[in-house]
Amino acid sequence: MPIPLNLSALILAAAFLLGGCASRGPVPTFYDFGPAAPLAAATAAPAVPVLVIADANGPSWLDSQRMYYRLLYADAQQSRPYAYNRWNTPPLQLLSQRLKTRVAQSGVKVLSTTDAAAGMPLLRIDVDDFSQNFDTQTQSSGHVSLRASLFRGHRLIDQKTFSRSGPAGSADAQGGAQALAAASDAIAADLLTWLGTLNITKE
């Protein structure tokens, strides 16, 4: 018995819909640094009441939402993206916001470059690395490396490189995200300590 034309059309439409659903990959999972915990009570008093912090600069691959890792035991020169895991916001923005939050938590009034007045101290951040590194198939760590430069006007007050690594609790993107968040917080603490040693107000 032949199938009615309208029923045939419905069957074909359903087949296309099912085929489309079946061809889709897993839904991506998105990560960020999570909420910033309060600073330790022993945090030193801020060295300056107001600080301009420019958004971090870095390589173009850090200006996307893709999450990258390296297999140090296989090919340390190759940076590989996770297929179905993403950052909510590109790492350069995530790191910029976390550093601004930490500096503000220390008691400093943080301004952006668009709000800055002439003569205010300016902190520039250049990120060299931000990735999850696998030493073995089951052990990895989050590594963050950056260069901080403090200016007043066109004069460089000081510059320092910071590097931190933290073990990942699991050999996957979730573990990498947690490790990179911890490494970023550790660098923020180092940055605050460094700022506290500088005579920023001196002309």
DSSP-assigned letters across all residues of 129-150: EEEEEESSSS-EEEEEEEEEEE
pLDDT at residue 199, rounded to an integer:
73
Give the C-alpha separation, 63 to 57, whole Å: 9
pLDDT tens-digit series, residues 48-73: 788 999 999 999 999 999 999 999 99
| Beta strands 121-134 and 140-152, pairing class | antiparallel
Tens of pLDDT, residue by residue over 95-113, are 999 999 999 999 999 998 8
- State the pTM of this model: 0.82
Q: Is the pLDDT of residue 16 over 80?
A: no
Kind and range of the H or E run holding 63: none
Structure token pair of residue 55 = 């958004």
The pLDDT of residue 43 is 55
Residue 117 has pLDDT above 80, yes or no: no
- Please give the single-letter amino acid code of residue 128: D
What per-residue confidence (pLDDT) applies to 48? 79
Q: How far apart are CA 57 and CA 98, in angstroms?
A: 14
Check residue 112 and give its pLDDT.
85
| 3-state DSSP of 148-170 | EEEEECCEEEEEEEEEEEEECCC
pLDDT score for 202: 53
Report residue 88 as tokens.
């909510």
Q: Which residue has the higher pLDDT, 22 or 115?
A: 115
